Structure 1
Amino acid sequence: MAPPVTEGEAPFRVPGVDKPCATWYKVVGDLKASKKLPLVTLHGGPGFAHDYLLPLVDLAGAPYDTPVVFYDQLGGGRSTHLPEKKGDEAFWSEQLFEDEFYNLLKHLGIVEYDLLGHSWGGMLAERIATKHPKGLRRLVLTDSLANMKTWAESARKLLAKLPKEIQDAVEKHDKNGTTEDPEYQAAIAEFFKAYVLRVDPWPAEFLHVLELYEKDPTVYHTMLGPSEFNITGSLKNWDIIKELHKINVPTLVLNGRHDEATDEVVAPLFWHIPKVRWYTFPDSSHMPYWEEREAYMKFVAEFLE
């Protein structure tokens, strides 16, 4: 029998915003009846939607039976959008997303939980975990990072492996500030096909996230910038390496062999988090839950046990 699905909105009072705001969520599984702790997921971006993480519903079904909580972070997906805050780096802060996370836990009545963060979601999960939140039992960091400088440098190295016309298109439009040009977007798509999701064709869920992002790139452009290797936003100097030793829960670090989260990017998480395991999926890039779905679920489920 398929696990129950609950969707809703958690009201979220945001300082500096006059209108009512809400966080949209989906729970797959029964939070009250399950014997397993819920797995709360944090999607990437920043500013994306949860949809591309939906393969994780596998963990809610047999044999794992783990309730999985998805939600769209403020400014993305089905949650409240605030395009009027584009460029406001002080507003789009890590603290805002931490506050939203705890607001959702309270709304859903979640006291104890496991946490899985992907990419930017992993960055947010790391920050949350360094503060020793009550109720956090285990942490899964999928395709994430500890230092944005290393991420950008690594992305540039990966770009250099692609055909010269793609490199030239990226360089030209980055230099000219014409990153909305179709030629630039096509070049970014080739980068994604090589290092983000090596599944052909791309699943509808991922395409939907990209469509939503194109309609409102407020958060991504403000916090990150026009692309993965042209980082101009508030996260440009993000670095949590010196704080990682504070994470005191068992942690699983995951990436793919063809991942934009290269071993160079991921290694500090392994070096500095005290109770940690690291596994690299051999046939995956940035989304192993699509590329090696069954193996990914088994690996995560065994860790959560």
Structure 2
Amino acid sequence: MTIKVAGQSIRYDIRKGDGRSTPLLMLCGIGAAFEVLQPAVDALDPDREVIRFDVPGVGGSPVGPLPYSFPALAWLTRRLLNHLGYQEVDVLGFSWGGGLAQQLAVQHPNTVRRLVLISTATGMLMVPGSPRTLLKMVTPRRFTDPEYAAGLAAYLYGGSARRHSAEIRRVFRAQVQAGSRRGYLFQLVAGAGWTSLPFLGLIKQPTLILSGDDDPIIPLANAHLMARLIRHSELHVYPGGHVELVTEAPTLTPVITEFLSRDLRL
């Protein structure tokens, strides 16, 4: 489905729930259409409502004339939720989407009830992965060429991707449409000048941080840093790499569900 938000066409998907729990907004990694997170959606309780969308320039959302900054994308996300009738959501941000999730939590605090950050960091001020790995991130080819993605999976993503190249290939093939090169560049630009370090202490929502101990892109030290700076946070370290939310969804989703369902009194 597609909707116009502030003049921008946005492709979105809603898996309806039973209405008894707070809806979950899932934000994807760089260059990835929302289908990439389908394994996680399938592993979640079917009664939980799930919202996903393609940011401009990715999947079925056309690229805009200029790059959106993270604050602009957070504003656009809030407008999208308004159009769809949601006042409050839980937010799960994966990789690049974790940056947008952090921005949304501090910029629109009344929108975000709880925050889940997976395989993500604090933007340009972070403990970086290896330079060779980061160079591979500059090109969107791994999203547009499933065979290339499968061959690169072990090197780039670590963890279970070393033995699940076929799953990586299948997930990327499931995208309705790959993002444009210009859209991918615009996402890189959004992250290049952004960091959450100055405002992590302002995030008031209960936050679950999940990170693998074998992530070549986002080293584990970043998760420890965020856990120290976000006041109401807890860290869950799992054995694996960058894309366990996709390749090992049945293992991680119970941790996420328990956190979202728990009675937390701050």
TM-score tier after normalising by the smaller chain length? 0.7 to 0.9
| CA-based RMSD | 2.9
Identity of aligned residues (%): 26
Alignment CA distance shift 1:9-1:181 (3 Å): closer
Higher relative contact order (CA 8 A, sep 6+): 2
Alignment CA distance shift 1:25-1:94 (3 Å): same
1:212 and 2:178 aligned? yes
Structure 2 counterpart of 1:194: 155
Alignment CA distance shift 1:181-1:129 (3 Å): closer
CA–CA distance in structure 1, aligned partners of residues 83 and 192 of structure 2: 32
CA–CA distance in structure 1, aligned partners of residues 4 and 36 of structure 2: 24
Q: How does 1:237-276 map to 2 (within 5 A)?
A: 237-259=193-215, 260-276=217-233
Structure 1 counterpart of 2:109: 133
Q: How far off its partner does 1:262 sit?
A: 1.2
Structure 2 counterpart of 1:162: none
1:27 and 2:14 aligned? yes
CA–CA distance in structure 2, aligned partners of residues 149 and 248 of structure 1: 21
Aligned partner of residue 150 in structure 1, secondary structure: coil
Alignment CA distance shift 1:238-1:93 (3 Å): closer
Gapped regions of structure 2 (runs ≥ 5):
262-266
Taking structure 2 as the reference length, the TM-score comes to: 0.82
CA–CA distance in structure 2, aligned partners of residues 132 and 13 of structure 1: 17
Q: Which 4+ stretches in 1 moved above 4 angstroms?
A: 179-182, 185-191, 208-211
Structure 2 counterpart of 1:221: 185
CA–CA distance in structure 1, aligned partners of residues 257 and 140 of structure 2: 40
Structure 1 counterpart of 2:49: 67
Q: How far off its partner does 1:223 sit?
A: 3.8
Alignment CA distance shift 1:270-1:286 (3 Å): same
Instruction: Give the counterpart of 2:4 among 7, 11, 26.
Output: 11
Contact 2:210-2:235 at 8 Å conserved across structures? yes
Q: What is the number of equivalent residue pairs in this alignment?
A: 251
Deviations 1:210-236 (A, max 9, x none): 9713xx121222342xxxxxxxx4532
CA–CA distance in structure 2, aligned partners of residues 56 and 188 of structure 1: 19
Taking structure 1 as the reference length, the TM-score comes to: 0.73
CA–CA distance in structure 2, aligned partners of residues 34 and 77 of structure 1: 28
Instruction: Give the counterpart of 1:57 among 16, 22, 41.
Output: 41
Structure 2 counterpart of 1:164: none
1:38 and 2:31 aligned? no
Q: How does 1:135-214 map to 2 (within 5 A)?
A: 135-151=111-127, 153-156=128-131, 191-196=152-157, 197-198=161-162, 199-201=164-166, 202-209=168-175, 212-213=178-179
Alignment CA distance shift 1:181-1:113 (3 Å): closer
Q: How far off its partner does 1:59 sit?
A: 5.2
Gapped regions of structure 1 (runs ≥ 5):
1-7, 15-20, 160-169, 225-232
Letter of the 1:217 partner, please give it. R
Aligned partner of residue 145 in structure 1, secondary structure: coil
